[in-house]
A and B are shown apart, each in its own frame.
Chain A
Amino acid sequence: MTKRVGIIGLGHGVFGRRSDATVQELAFEAFAAALEDAGIERKELDASVIGSVPEYHKQRSLAGVVQEYLGLVPKPTWLTEVACASGSAAIRTAWMSIKAGVHDIVAVIGCQKMTELSTPEILALMGRVGEVQWESVFGTTFPAYYALFAQRHIHEFGTTREQMFQVAIKNHFYGAKNPNALFRKEITMDKAKASAQVASPLQVYDCCANADGAACIILACEDRAREISQKTVWLDGMGCATASMSVLKRPGLTSLPSAEAAAAQAYRMAGVTADDIKVADVHDCFTIAEIMAYEDLGFCKKGEGGRFIAERKTYIGGKVAVNVDGGLKAKGHPIGATGVSMTYEIAKQLRGEAGERQVPNADIGLTHNVGGIGQYCFVQVLRRD
């Protein structure tokens, strides 16, 4: 069994309303960039894994059309789906295949086209990641679930609306510096407060944006990674856990039990603690989700997430730099691509290639990718040599 699995190639397309391309064309952009970055050719790949949520596409069984367009037929491919964490599930299954010794080099592609659907259609589709028998019948939406979490967080811990918007302000601040981001401009507190209501207390500026996009990473077993790359980033901690589909079955509404469990697994496997993490990409589908992530990952104590952002602890130069690529909020959230995009970003940081968003001395990083309303969570700890 290979000791470690390394990331040897990184590729990322521009996120946004990509009316210029099909989903396989988006996948191609990221894939070609990752191959070039790794300095290998297609024939060296053993397989690909595609992370995507199929309901958004007219094409059924997406892995096949992507595999063909990338020119990877007849190599193996498969699709992973766990809602907004589909990309991290793809990475996990590729990592498992390499750990098992079945494959040596695997391309992981997260890709999604969302903007061909209308907003009400997307709200209906996303709302049904809540439990449909007892919850969706009351018109629950994805923002509504996180609004329930937010309202409870305010009640239990005194978290404020300003603290939530400070998450959005930070993520737009960094998103403005990311050429791959959907929103490349900063926002102000006044503008955030004036934004339209979505599901109280959440407003438009609490919510990430639907987007189209793709990202690709290439994984290799330790021996091949050392032969091919001088700048391998290692997937040293891989956590994965679930929580109940129904919000009615959760122990509480202020944290995601799946995130707490996945983080504990990843820290243990990598032999690190939360204090060792210098840079992280967390799943800020809503501002409250980032605050909950600080707490679930142990960056701060339970209930102190609001103060943590208010004190700018998650800016570069703070305790741990979080979402300095803009996060889902400013970078955009093409759901199947997001997990791969997170790993791409942290690997770039650990390679020291993040430009004006570079976190000094970034040696250990983390990703936290949530599916649905926390039904699924994947946490990765990444380390450079």
Chain B
Amino acid sequence: MFKWFGKVNYSPYTKVSDFARYLKDGHLMGSKCKKCGSISFPPRADCDKCMSGDFEFFEMSGKAWLNSFTKVEAAPTGFEDAAPYIVGVVDMEEGGRALAWFGESIKEEEIEIGMELQVVPQVFEETEDIKVYYSLEKSGTSWVKV
């Protein structure tokens, strides 16, 4: 069900498609190689280290620190109605990075590189189809079932 992931989804079919199902239920999942134990976020089916294709999902803490950010004013096709939006890249506690929008719990002027953030599963409420994503929120923010 990876087509659920994102306002506009460009890659509906993937070996890690359960990521979106977990996300819908409030769980942010990374992948762990069953052979060598290497972890990845975003998740990947095929191990970067040992090339094994045998993986399992595990739940990330969502704790992260801001690496960099930008406020996008000129938006691409499909995102015009969302602009302007602030995109951040965060370093995750368990390793790996995420790129996501800042959510409503943080004011623009509070944003600074190095700040602690929480990556929180989200559902687009205004759409008929199921559409999920994750956002960057104030540290300590927890998932709320819609």
Contacts and interface: CB of A to CB of B under 8 A. Distances in A.
Interface string B68-87: 11111111111110110101
Nearest to B91: A248
B72 A199 contact: yes
A70 interface: no
Interface stretch (A121-129, A258-266, A367-375): A121-129
Contacts of B67: 152, 253
B80 A120 contact: yes
Interface string A243-281: 000011100010000000000000000000000000000
A151 B6 CA distance: 25
Interface stretch (B31-39, B51-59, B98-106, B137-145): B98-106
Give the most central of A120, A134, A147, A202: most B CB within 10 Å. Answer: A134
A137 B97 CA distance: 15
A200 B75 contact: no
Contacts of B76: 120, 123-124, 127, 139, 141
Contacts of B42: 133-134, 248
Interface residues of A, number: 36
Contacts of A253: 67-68, 89
B99 A147 contact: no
Contact of A138 (B11, B68, B71, B87): B87
Nearest to A136: B10
Contact of A139 (B5, B11, B68, B78): B78
Nearest to B84: A197
Contacts of B127: none
Nearest to A141: B76
A110 B7 CA distance: 35
Interface in A135-163: 135-141, 143-144, 147-149, 151-152, 155
Contact of B69 (A132, A135, A148): A148
Interface in A180-201: 196-201
A61 interface: no
Contacts, number: 110
B72 A132 contact: no
Contacts of A135: 99
Contact of B11 (A133, A144, A149): A133
Contact of A140 (B9, B11, B99): B99
Contacts of B10: 128, 132-133, 136-137
Contacts of A152: 67-68, 113
A199 B89 CA distance: 14
Interface residues of B, number: 36
Given A137-B133, A144-B87, A147-B70, A248 B7 contact: no
Contacts of A249: 97
Contacts of B101: 138
A120 B87 CA distance: 18
B142 to A, nearest CB: 21
A14 B53 CA distance: 51
A137 B8 contact: yes
A22 interface: no
Contacts of B14: 133
Contact of B68 (A120, A123, A124, A148): A148
Contacts of B100: 138
A201 B42 CA distance: 26
A121 B77 contact: yes
B24 to A, nearest CB: 15
Interface string A198-232: 11111000000000000000000000000000000
Contacts of A140: 72, 87, 99
Contact of A248 (B5, B69, B96, B133): B96
A2 interface: no
Given A124-B76, A138-B100, A197 B82 contact: no
A119 interface: yes
A127 B75 CA distance: 10
B6 A138 contact: yes
Contact of B82 (A139, A147, A202): A139
B75 A139 contact: yes
A119 B80 CA distance: 12
12 contacts: A124-B78, A133-B10, A134-B99, A136-B6, A137-B8, A139-B7, A139-B79, A139-B87, A147-B72, A152-B68, A155-B113, A196-B73
Given A127-B76, A199-B70, 8 more contacts: A124-B77, A134-B98, A137-B7, A140-B99, A141-B74, A152-B113, A196-B73, A253-B68
Top 9 A-B pairs, shortest CB-CB distance:
A137-B6, A139-B79, A147-B70, A124-B76, A248-B97, A124-B77, A123-B76, A132-B10, A200-B71
Interface of A: 119-121, 123-124, 127-128, 132-141, 143-144, 147-149, 151-152, 155, 196-202, 247-249, 253
